[in-house]
Structure 1
Amino acid sequence: MKVAVTQANYVPWLGYFDLLDHVDLWVNLDTVQVVTRSFIVRNRIKLLSGGTRWLTVALEKAPRDTQIRAARLAPGDWHTAHCNVIRENYREAPFLDDCWPWLVDLLAPRPDEPTLALHNERIIRELADALGLAVVVRRASDLVPEPTGTPQEKLVRLLRAAGGTSLWNFRRGVELGLYDAAGLGRIGIPLMKQEYEHPEYSQLGGEFLPYLSVLDLILNEGVARSLEIIRSGSRWSRQ
């Protein structure tokens, strides 16, 4: 079984959905620490005037070692503020009006998702469904509730609990040495590294800017074309 083990990011970039497109199972890694100013809690959209702006999830104050599964969403209308910023900067986007009711509903937290892990996971599920991807998700906290050992030992336990026969993940994590490819190979689990080549598409606001939230693609090109565009940049290598 092809498995991805990664955190649920907030309205992720195109390559995140390329990863989901290639695996049989996504393990939502909700048992690691929340990193402030990371893509777990924020992502970028493009300003109509050019440049980018961060959309950041508001969280309740918590100790620095709080895990993603325990990080609670702050009360308030911060998600409405995200919608307002999107509407202001994508008001000329061809597909804003078609997507608007869906987008407002997408970003609004549900009563049954008080934590960042659950909120982001549901958003990713709904985005994947809109794109036409069938995504199967299991949470790390359900597979290995109390992980112990080295990072590599924790990863192997997760992969075995999930029935994984190969691990697929992002270029940066592989190049930073977060995964021991040789060690995984010795237990018969090959490591696949994403080599995503970001495609260009119609985009408002002047010069094309890559690596934004997938919302930028959807609002500019429409959901019907988005998966085809995402797949056009897909490249993978075995480590």
Structure 2
Amino acid sequence: MQPYFFPYIGYFQLIRSVDRFVVYDNIKYTKKGWINRNRILQNGAPVWFSLPLMAGSDGLDIGARYLASDFKPESLLNRLHGTYRRAPCFEAVYQLAEGILRHPDPNLFAFLEYGLHRVCDHLGIQTEWVVSSRVPIDHDLKAQEKVIALCRAVGTDLYVNPIGGQSLYERAAFAEEGIELRFLQADPVEYRQFDAEFVPWLSILDVMMFNTVEEIQQRFLPGYTLL
């Protein structure tokens, strides 16, 4: 799975649902995706917030990209403070976000992985992590073939992917290798966001600002279906 910047609740459901989570550092960075940006609530509407990156070739892997030298965490922290300061869980989540955004490593993969680990720790998710480049496979493989090779290398007979992967992966190809392919579909979630109309599927920051860890563990993390 690609690393994302404060991803939505479904990403953490996926991590929690498996025994071993493989995160990609040697996959191409994609523009206008979710790798270095996400959405938060602002004045009752979803707005983008992002990590600025140094200029780099479109062919570079995530692990070869870096944050811009003029990146200032204060800018994002000020936006979070202005947006969520009245949220019920603001203090603890703001401190968590501050610790992540002030992480000193400018490497994009290292920065994102650190943030994901910190959020998992906050939510009590203890799944084992594996970085893709450290798995002994042919890393020139692409797409489905690379995933199957990773599954074989780590010795699993079950691979779980987000629901969007239904258009990318074929159950028959995995079955030929003795691997069951399942897709995780997150259940719709809803919670109070101040007094505004609910906006779904925002960053995990939004979920954590309005819900205690216990509520997230009991209501949201188990809220998915494996297809």
Deviations 1:11-39 (A, max 9, x none): 01000111011101111112111011111
| 1:84-99 map, 5 Å | 84-99=78-93
- Measured in 1, the distance between the counterparts of 2:16 and 2:222 equals 12
Checking the alignment, whether the CA contact within 8 Å between 1:144 and 1:157 is kept in structure 2 is no
Checking the alignment, whether the CA contact within 8 Å between 2:89 and 2:212 is kept in structure 1 is yes
Extract structure 1 runs of 4+ deviating beyond 6 A.
Answer: none
- Measured in 2, the distance between the counterparts of 1:108 and 1:31 equals 24
Secondary structure of the residue that 1:11 maps to in structure 2? coil
Deviations 1:133-191 (A, max 9, x none): 102111111114761234222222211222221110100122x2x21211001111011
Checking the alignment, whether the CA contact within 8 Å between 2:51 and 2:71 is kept in structure 1 is no
Checking the alignment, whether the CA contact within 8 Å between 2:21 and 2:127 is kept in structure 1 is yes
Deviations 1:176-220 (A, max 9, x none): 2x2121100111101111121121112126111111111101111
Secondary structure of the residue that 1:195 maps to in structure 2? strand
Give the aligned partner of residue 31 of structure 2: 36
Give the aligned partner of residue 197 of structure 2: 207
Give the aligned partner of residue 107 of structure 1: 101
- Measured in 2, the distance between the counterparts of 1:198 and 1:78 equals 34
Secondary structure of the residue that 1:235 maps to in structure 2? strand
Which of 188, 194, 217 is the aligned partner of 2:207?
Answer: 217
Give the aligned partner of residue 185 of structure 1: 175
Checking the alignment, whether the CA contact within 8 Å between 1:44 and 1:54 is kept in structure 2 is yes
Structure 2 unaligned spans of 5+: none
Secondary structure of the residue that 2:224 maps to in structure 1? coil
- Measured in 2, the distance between the counterparts of 1:224 and 1:106 equals 21
Which of 166, 171, 184 is the aligned partner of 2:163?
Answer: 171
Which of 154, 158, 161 is the aligned partner of 2:153?
Answer: 161
TM-score, length basis structure 2: 0.94
Letter of the 1:124 partner, please give it.
L
In structure 2, relative to structure 1, the CA distance for the partners of 1:116 and 1:196 (3 Å cut) is same
Deviations 1:81-128 (A, max 9, x none): 111111101121111123332321122222xx3321111111111101
Checking the alignment, whether the CA contact within 8 Å between 1:30 and 1:141 is kept in structure 2 is yes
- Measured in 1, the distance between the counterparts of 2:59 and 2:139 equals 14
Identity %, equivalent residues: 27
Secondary structure of the residue that 1:122 maps to in structure 2? helix
In structure 2, relative to structure 1, the CA distance for the partners of 1:122 and 1:150 (3 Å cut) is closer
Checking the alignment, whether the CA contact within 8 Å between 2:13 and 2:222 is kept in structure 1 is no
Give the aligned partner of residue 120 of structure 1: 112
Give the aligned partner of residue 45 of structure 1: 40
Give the aligned partner of residue 65 of structure 1: 59
Deviations 1:50-106 (A, max 9, x none): 111111111111001110111111123432211111110112111112333232112
Give the aligned partner of residue 15 of structure 2: 20
- Measured in 2, the distance between the counterparts of 1:63 and 1:145 equals 25
Checking the alignment, whether the CA contact within 8 Å between 1:199 and 1:232 is kept in structure 2 is no
In structure 2, relative to structure 1, the CA distance for the partners of 1:145 and 1:42 (3 Å cut) is farther
In structure 2, relative to structure 1, the CA distance for the partners of 1:146 and 1:75 (3 Å cut) is farther
- Measured in 1, the distance between the counterparts of 2:13 and 2:35 equals 18
Structure 1 unaligned spans of 5+: 1-5
Letter of the 1:107 partner, please give it.
L
